[in-house]
Every structure is written in structure tokens, then in C-alpha cells.
Structure 1
Amino acid sequence: MSSRLIWSISVLARRIWFRATLFSIAAVATALLAIVVTPYIPADLSTKIGADSVDNILGIIASSMLTVTTFSLSTMVSAYSAATSNVTPRATRLVMEDSTTQNVLATFVGSFLFSLVGIVALTTGAYGEQGRLVLFVVTIGVIVLIVVTLLRWIDHLSRLGRVTETTRRVEEATLDAVKAWRKSPNLGGKALDADSLEPRAGDTPFFTDEIGYVQHVDAAALAKIADEIECDVVILALPGKLASPARPLGWLRGALGEDVLDRAAACFSIGDVRSFDQDPRFGASVLTEIASRALSPAVNDPGTAIDVISRAMRILYSWHEAIGEAPEEAVYRRLNVATLTAADLFDDLFTPIARDGAGLVEVGLRLQKTLAALSKLGPQFHSNAVRHSKEALDRAAAVIQIDADMERLRAAAAPIIADGKHIWAPGAED
């Protein structure tokens, strides 16, 4: 099974209607199961169940589940609106893909259909006395499932759509993408050298006919093509890059036919919006969008920006820890892929916050302390921390008019910058 097919299935499984459909099919099948097992139920057992007991219970479930489902849908839409207006529209997709919400709605819809099918089958007399017994037992199980789901839903409603909860989901999605990238760096291929970002003489670029963002790259399929034609492939358009007919997705090392170029271009999934799955920088940019909105004069919530800085620190720590887990050799030796560096994540996570929070000393202090902690992780992290620390100080100096505040910021930056020289100790882990 190709990675593109697996990715497509995972995207489909996160759609809100998918679980509801599965639960509904299971509910209908369960309601009709009683007809199949009726011949295997002893006749004397059915006399212990009242003739109308199942009918009444199913009627209550049908009417109540319809009401609860309508209420839950309205609550869910309100949570989406809150996430869009209070956090960022880019984070709404993660709220929509919340597994608890989808399970709750699927349970309610499935219970409604189960009771509806059961009532119809009872009315037509399809069950018989033994079938009523089976339906009664299953109905008791459905009631237990509904009660447990309602209790989980009540607890979940207190957090759904809140700024902190949505920010946590963005952080988790970014951490997953970071770990996936570090586990298989450069999509499993070799890192592309900086001097190889332009095609050489004899290289054949391939393009897409669509305009949109690269959401997924099927590296395994590209590697298979490369092995078939015995030719190296350069992947320039990483997930998150804007693709268009005027910009090559990559190129093949050699002059090849249109059929091979079309097969290579088909390995790239293009969509209207960016995806969190293979794109750590998208999650980082969404986090900083949350911080920038919180720092806007209309919201004026520096606490959320400080919270985002702490989450950014955890993301970069995860990037650093995953370096040791990365394989020493590329899985696909014929793939040469544009790489993702710590500098990219530093720029995505800290530049907007330093810009929008330049006038707030509390935000600047937390930023400098975070950069000081990250600077101890090795020369690459230290050089980026020094760069962003200096930029943050310059931005603050252009806005802050109180000398005491600037002195506090300079004191916080002192562990990172000492007379402009790096203070990283040789031998520290990179």
C-alpha cells in the first residue's frame, strides 16, 4: 500500500461524517442481528420480558437521541466559530477532527438509527418473541454506551473550542509532524545541498497543473520511479510549499519523456490549504498566529503569547531530541530532498512573536529566557538563539521608551550574548 493511499485514508478517517457513517451501519446491523439469531434462543426465556418493554425503551431512545444530536451539533458549530474568532481559522480543522466529538456524534446518531430500525422491525413483526429478547439485551448495552458517552461529552464541552485547548491541539499536531520528519529526515531521501537548488544542464523539471499547497509527497512512489529509470530525483517542493505550473516540483537527473514526468508529478498531492501531517512549519506558523492575535490591541492577551513561547520551546526540544533517533543512512538513496533546518523553525516560531510583542517587556523577558535555554542545546541552536535574541532586542529598543525595561531585557539576553561572542561550550551535544 502506497504512502499516498495511507495518507488519503487517514485524512478520510478524520472527517466528521466518517465515524458517524460507520456507527450508523453498525447500529443498523446490530438491530437486524436479532432476526438472524432468533432460532437459537430458547422460547421459555422470552416470556420473562414484557411484550411492550422493548418498544417503550426504543421509543424513548429515538426521541431523546434526536434532540441530543441536534443540541450537540449546534454546540459543535459554536465551538468552531469560537476557535475561528478567538484563536485562528487555521486551527479550526484540528477542532473539527477532534476524536471525542466525532465519537459522541457518531454514538448519538447510531443510537437513533438503532432504535428507529428496531421500532420498524418490531412493528412488522420480524423479530418474534425470541428476537425481542435479543433486542432487549442489545438495547440495555446501547443505554450503557449512551450514558458513558454523555458523561464524557459533558466533561469535554468545558474545553471544546477554548483558546488553551485549541493551542494544545496545534502543539500536538506540530510535535507529531516534527517527530515524523526527524524519524525519516528529508522524506527518507538524502539532504539536498544548498548549491543544488537550481537544475543543472541536462536535468528535466516536472510541474503540476494545479495551483495550491503541497500537502503530501509519496516518497516511496518517487523512489520506485527513480529505481525503474535508474535516475536520481530532486524534490524541491516540500509539503507546505506553494505549487503552480510556473514553479517546478523537482527535476530528474537526465532527459526523460513526458510519461515519466507525469508519473513523478502525480506523487505530489496538491490542495487549497496546508496540512499538518508532513509540514512541521505549518504547525509552527499556526502557533505564532495564535500568539500574534493574542498580542493584537483588540485582544491584548500577552498571557497566551507567553504560553505559545513555552510550547515553541517544547517543539524545538523535541526537534533536538529526535536528531539522535534519525537513521544514519537515507532509505531512498536516489532521492535528493530540500531539507528542513532548525533555523526554519526558529524563524517560524519566534520572529512574529518578537515583532508583535516588542513593546511588552513580559513577553520579551519570556522570549529571551526561552532562547537562553535553547542556546545550550548545541552550536546550531546557539547560533539561531543568538540571532533571534539580537533581533528581539533591536525590535524592543525601537518601541520601549523606559530604560529600566530595556535593561531587564538586556540582562535576560546576557546568557546568550556576551560582547557579541558565542558562549556555547565546545563538546556540547549538537
Structure 2
Amino acid sequence: MSRLEWLFSRLDRTLSVKVSLYALLGVAAASIASLFSHYVHWAMPFDITPSAIESLLGIIASSMLTVTTFSVNALTSAYSSATSNGTPRATILQEQDRLVQSVLATFIGSFLFSIVALIALKVSAYGPEGRAVLFLVTIAIIVLIVLALIRWIGHLAKLGRVGDTIDRLEKATKGAMTAWMARPYLGGAPLREEVVLPPATGKIEAGDVGYIAFIDTGHIAELCEEKAFEAVLQVLPGAFVYRDSILLRLHGGTSPLDPTLSKQFRNAFVLRTARSFDQDPRFGLITLTEVALRALSPAVNDPGTAIDVIGRQTRLMTLWCTEHPAPADTEPRYPRLHVPPLACGDLYEDAFNLIGRDGAGQIDVALRLLKALEALSRLGPPTARAAAIRQFHLAFARAETTLPTEHERARLCELRDRFTGAA
């Protein structure tokens, strides 16, 4: 995916874009109906009076304004609920909800259609043919409004709830993982210690402070092919960089690294003030962990949600460990670009480390976490298994020193003994 395609994909998920498009369609539908009076003529079997259409349009205009206002208030409450009961990082997924966007766009588009049509009726812009077309369009819009309301009522019942927030986070994280596995190492070649590179030519610095939201590896590869560079990526999406942080190291090349070429390389990196789910599987794991930590806080005290999150993290890590291709099996699309791997140790730490810390004093959370890590220690390459084993022992040590009763500690030791005996 190029930078332009990535920007368009983000634009497509923006609420204002879809609302604006539907609004324009509503205005266009009301305007086009008036053209039939001037350019299309046919014998009408009956005449639709302006007052008949006015009453329908008036109902639509007043009701859609009320429904839109109510919907915006409901969304605000849902976002607030997701922030207070889950994590503020999850609200971006609610804002990108296509059903929410479609419903709001339908309401606003219908409102604008009715307003424009009412104005046109008042100035006698519609003849008999135009009123017939306007009547048919009005009936079609009423049907769309009813369908949107039915979908909206069902969606509002779960919007903003913790379960819905966790579902969205798991889906977004799975999507990021699947995209990474479909194009491992962002399309580049895995960075290996045994790779021999030409002498270093230069480096590309960030020049700003922020998170790496997207890397256009195709653009980097094109520049490398054109100038015969070998490039080594120093950061991955999600990394926080400073002005002098090195983004890319270049080796070889047929021309010097001048300021113009440096700027072209730097343009492949998109910096934002916040992390994005698109190319960053770790961000999804971290955000899920934040939901579990909120649930484990004394103010909430909801270990069930933390256990739910552990199950989802386990499912995601199972996907990663079993389906991620080994470096030797990877066919790079951009052989001149060398990309470091997503370290299994970092993924396991993002998913389980803090849950083990905050859930150490609750036996149900500690046992579920240890069982999940014990199962994951049997999956994946040696690095993944070692990371799971490390998190197992770390979680056990924390729980052993935190659990209040001897009986609970004995249950913990029993599980640890089974694990070490099987190993």
C-alpha cells in the first residue's frame, strides 16, 4: 500500500466524508427531480398536488433533525463510556464504525433533501412530472430511513459497552496481524545478522517528534532501485521518534545522499501525534491490555473483563505464532530493503506483562494468565516459546508474592509444577 492509498483508506473511514457525500446526494436528488418538469414530458394518469408532497417532506425534515440530534448525543455518550470503562484509544474505532457513519449520513442526507425539495416546491420549480418523480424519491427515502432506524436501534444497544469495545479492538488487532503476515516485513527482506551490506552511505533522520503511523516501503524500494542503495529500516510503525532519531540507514549507492534525495526518503514515513492500528499489531495488544488494567483497578474491580481480555490476547498470539512465516520462507517483494522483525518478546510483553502485574493479587486472573501462557509456550518458533515461558515465570513470581492465602499460593505452585514437569 502506497502513502496515497493509505491516506485515501483513512479518508474513507472518516465520518465527515460519508456524511458530506450523502448530503450532496440528497441535494442532487431534489434538484434533479425539477429537471423532469423541463426536459421530460409524459401523460400523467393522475396529478400529485404540492400539498401532498409538502406534508411528507415536512415530516421528514422535522423528524430527521430531531433524530440526528439524538443520535449525536447517543454517540457522545457511547464515546464517553468507552473512554471511562475501556480506554480512550478505542474511540477511534467507534468513530470509524461504518454502520454509524451510514446511519448518520442517511439522516442528514434525508434532512437536506427534504429542505431543498420544500424550497423548490414553494418557488414552483416542479411541474406535474417533477412532482411525480419527487414523490417516488420521497417514498424511497422514507424506506431508507426506516431501514436505517431499525439498524440504528439494534446497534445502539451495544455501542460503547465494554464487550463491544473489546470486540472492536480484537478485530482491529487481528486485521493488523493478518496484514503483516500477508506481507511479512512490510514487503522487505528480513534483517539477518549474516547479511553483508556495502559500506554505509548515509542515514535518514526523522526531523520531527511523533509516532510512526505508516511506512511506504514501496516508495523506499523504488528510490533504492533507482540509486542502487541497500536500505536498512531502523524503526517500525508504532515507534516514537525524536528529531534526530534514525529512520533509515543507506548502504552503497551510485550517487551521494543530497538533501533532495533525503527528503524523498523521509516522505515515505508518516508521523502522527498518536499511534494507528493499520501497520501496528503491537498497538492493538497494548490497547487490549489497557482495557484489562482498567477492569483490574480498585475503582472498577472487574476481573471477569480481565479474564476475557486474556482469552482474546491468547487467541491473537496463537494466530501470530502459528501462521507467521519463518524468515527463511519469506519471499521479499523489495529485496533491497532490509526490515527488522516484530520481536516475539515485545509482543508477549505488550499482551501479558502488565496484566500479570495488576492481576497478581487475584487468583482467578493469575491462574487464567498462567494457563494461557503455558498453552502458548507450546506454539511457534523457539523465540516465541521462550517469550511465553519468560512471561509465565514472571507472572508466577508476582502472584506468589502477592496472593494473600496459603491455599491460593498452593494452587499456583501446583500449576507451576505441572508446567515445569511437562517442560
Question: TM-score, normalised to structure 1's length?
Answer: 0.93
Shift of 1:108: 0.5
Report what 2:211 is aligned to: 213
Change in Cα spacing, 1:149 to 1:64, as seen in structure 2 (3 Å) is same
Report what 1:242 is aligned to: 240
1:67 matched to 2:66? The reply is: yes
CA distance in 1, matches of 2:307, 2:63: 44
Change in Cα spacing, 1:53 to 1:368, as seen in structure 2 (3 Å) is same
1:222 matched to 2:220? The reply is: yes
Shift of 1:93: 0.9
Report what 2:42 is aligned to: 42
Amino acid at match of 1:271: R
Amino acid at match of 1:384: A
CA distance in 1, matches of 2:418, 2:258: 57
CA distance in 2, matches of 1:214, 1:99: 25
CA distance in 2, matches of 1:319, 1:41: 64
Aligned 1:35-184 pairs, distance under 5 A: 35-38=34-37, 39-47=39-47, 49-184=48-183
- 3-state DSSP of counterpart to 2:243: coil
Report what 1:370 is aligned to: 372
8 Å Cα contact 2:200/2:249 also seen in 1: no
Amino acid at match of 2:332: A
Q: Per-residue displacement from partner, 1:58-115 (whole Å, max 9, x unpaired)?
A: 0110011001101111111111111111111111111111111111111100000000
CA distance in 1, matches of 2:116, 2:326: 52
Shift of 1:210: 1.5
CA distance in 2, matches of 1:220, 1:302: 44
Amino acid at match of 2:389: V
CA distance in 2, matches of 1:331, 1:131: 57
Report what 2:363 is aligned to: 361
* % identical aligned pairs: 44
Amino acid at match of 2:384: F
Shift of 1:21: 0.4
CA distance in 2, matches of 1:354, 1:98: 32
Change in Cα spacing, 1:194 to 1:363, as seen in structure 2 (3 Å) is farther
8 Å Cα contact 1:291/1:308 also seen in 2: yes
CA distance in 2, matches of 1:417, 1:54: 78
Report what 1:345 is aligned to: 347
- 3-state DSSP of counterpart to 1:416: helix
Amino acid at match of 1:412: L
Report what 2:420 is aligned to: 417
8 Å Cα contact 1:62/1:115 also seen in 2: yes
- 3-state DSSP of counterpart to 2:278: coil
Shift of 1:41: 4.7
- 3-state DSSP of counterpart to 1:340: coil
Shift of 1:42: 2.0
1:406 matched to 2:414? The reply is: no
8 Å Cα contact 1:376/1:382 also seen in 2: yes
Shift of 1:246: 1.6
CA distance in 1, matches of 2:135, 2:415: 68
Shift of 1:182: 0.9
1:31 matched to 2:33? The reply is: no
Change in Cα spacing, 1:262 to 1:324, as seen in structure 2 (3 Å) is closer
CA distance in 2, matches of 1:203, 1:367: 47
CA distance in 1, matches of 2:55, 2:384: 67
Shift of 1:381: 3.4
Q: Which runs of 5+ in 2 are unaligned?
A: none
Aligned Cα RMSD in Å? 1.9
CA distance in 2, matches of 1:395, 1:316: 22
Shift of 1:121: 1.1
CA distance in 2, matches of 1:252, 1:128: 70
Shift of 1:231: 0.8
Amino acid at match of 2:40: Y
Shift of 1:203: 3.5
Shift of 1:380: 3.7
Shift of 1:46: 4.4
Report what 2:314 is aligned to: 313
Select between 181-190 and 403-412 the one with higher mean Cα deviation. 403-412
CA distance in 1, matches of 2:215, 2:418: 41
Amino acid at match of 2:268: C
Q: Per-residue displacement from partner, 1:329-363 (whole Å, max 9, x unpaired)?
A: 11100001121032221110000100010101000
CA distance in 1, matches of 2:153, 2:181: 38
Amino acid at match of 2:259: E
CA distance in 2, matches of 1:76, 1:111: 19
Shift of 1:194: 5.6
CA distance in 2, matches of 1:65, 1:205: 56
CA distance in 2, matches of 1:83, 1:166: 7
8 Å Cα contact 2:44/2:128 also seen in 1: no
CA distance in 2, matches of 1:367, 1:191: 32
CA distance in 1, matches of 2:264, 2:215: 13
Amino acid at match of 1:299: V
8 Å Cα contact 1:389/1:416 also seen in 2: no
8 Å Cα contact 2:379/2:385 also seen in 1: yes
Report what 2:396 is aligned to: 393
Report what 1:301 is aligned to: 302
Shift of 1:411: 2.4
Question: TM-score, normalised to structure 2's length?
Answer: 0.94
Report what 2:281 is aligned to: 280
